[in-house]
Structure 1
Amino acid sequence: MTRSQLDSVSELLQNSPLDLGGDVEKMRRVFDEMLGSAPLPDDVRTRTTELGTVPAVEVRVGATASAGTVLYFHGGAYALGSAAASVGLVSEIARRTAVTILSVDYRLAPEHPFPAAVDDALAAYRALLDRGVPADSIAVIGESAGGGLALALLLAIREAGLPQPSSATVLSPWADLTQSGSTMDTRADADPVLTRRALRTRAADYLAGADPHSPPASPLHADLCGLPPLLIQAGGREILLDDALRLAARAAHADVPVTLRTFPGAPHVFQGFAPVVDEAAQALDQVAAFIDSHVRPEGRR
Structure 2
Amino acid sequence: MKDSELAGGAADRTHTGTSIRSLLVRNAARVLAKPAVGVWMARPDLAWPLTLVDDTASLLPKPSGAEYADVDLGSCSAEWVHAESKNDEQAVLYLHGGAFLMGGLNTHRPLAVTLSERADCPVLNVDYRMLPSAPVAHAVEDAVRGYEWLCDKGYDGEDIVIAGDSAGGYLAFMTALALAEAKLPKPAGILALSPLVDTDVDRRAGRGRHTECPLFPEAAVDSLVDYIETAQTRLVVNGDAALPICPLDNDLSVLPPVMIHAGEDELLRTDAEAMTEEVRASGGQCELHLWRNQVHAFPVLADALPESRRALRIAGRFVKTVTRGEDPAVIEPRHRRSPEQGAVA
Coarse TM-score class (shorter-chain normalised): 0.7 to 0.9
1:225 counterpart = 2:253: yes
Q: Residue in 1 aligned with 2:297?
A: 269
- CA distance, structure 1, for counterparts of residue 59 and residue 32 of structure 2: 13
* SS of equivalent to 1:161: coil
1:27 Cα deviation after fit: 3.7
Q: Residue in 2 aligned with 1:248?
A: 276
Aligned amino acid, residue 14 of structure 1: R
Given candidates 26, 29, 47, the residue that maps to 2:52 is 29
Q: Residue in 1 aligned with 2:167?
A: 145
How has the CA–CA distance of structure 1 residues 291 and 185 changed in structure 2, closer, same or farther, with 3 Å as cutoff?
Answer: same
1:181 counterpart = 2:209: no
Query: What is the total number of aligned residue pairs between the two structures?
Result: 295
Are 1:274 and 1:281, in contact at CA under 8 Å, matched by a contact in 2?
yes
Are 1:183 and 1:241, in contact at CA under 8 Å, matched by a contact in 2?
no
Structure with larger Rg: 2
1:271 Cα deviation after fit: 1.0
Are 1:148 and 1:219, in contact at CA under 8 Å, matched by a contact in 2?
yes
- CA distance, structure 2, for counterparts of residue 132 and residue 95 of structure 1: 21
Are 1:73 and 1:146, in contact at CA under 8 Å, matched by a contact in 2?
yes
Aligned amino acid, residue 190 of structure 2: A
1:235 counterpart = 2:257: no
How has the CA–CA distance of structure 1 residues 87 and 277 changed in structure 2, closer, same or farther, with 3 Å as cutoff?
Answer: same
Aligned amino acid, residue 51 of structure 2: R
The CA deviation string for residues 40-91 of structure 1, in whole angstroms up to 9 with x for no partner, is 4321322211235431011122233423111000000011111232101111
- CA distance, structure 2, for counterparts of residue 41 and residue 105 of structure 1: 18
| Structure 1 spans left out of the alignment, 5+ residues | none
| Structure 2 spans left out of the alignment, 5+ residues | 1-16, 234-240, 325-332, 336-345
How has the CA–CA distance of structure 1 residues 200 and 24 changed in structure 2, closer, same or farther, with 3 Å as cutoff?
Answer: farther
CA-atom RMSD in angstroms: 2.6
1:63 counterpart = 2:85: yes
Higher relative contact order (Cα pairs below 8 Å, separated by 6+ residues) = 2
* SS of equivalent to 1:115: helix
* SS of equivalent to 1:152: helix
Q: Residue in 1 aligned with 2:155?
A: 133
- CA distance, structure 2, for counterparts of residue 58 and residue 131 of structure 1: 12
Q: Residue in 1 aligned with 2:341?
A: none
How has the CA–CA distance of structure 1 residues 126 and 42 changed in structure 2, closer, same or farther, with 3 Å as cutoff?
Answer: closer
- CA distance, structure 1, for counterparts of residue 205 and residue 26 of structure 2: 21
Are 2:68 and 2:80, in contact at CA under 8 Å, matched by a contact in 1?
yes
What TM-score does the superposition give when structure 2 sets the normalisation length?
0.77
Are 1:54 and 1:123, in contact at CA under 8 Å, matched by a contact in 2?
no
- CA distance, structure 2, for counterparts of residue 222 and residue 278 of structure 1: 36
- CA distance, structure 2, for counterparts of residue 4 and residue 118 of structure 1: 38
Are 1:48 and 1:57, in contact at CA under 8 Å, matched by a contact in 2?
yes
Aligned amino acid, residue 30 of structure 1: V
How has the CA–CA distance of structure 1 residues 141 and 29 changed in structure 2, closer, same or farther, with 3 Å as cutoff?
Answer: same
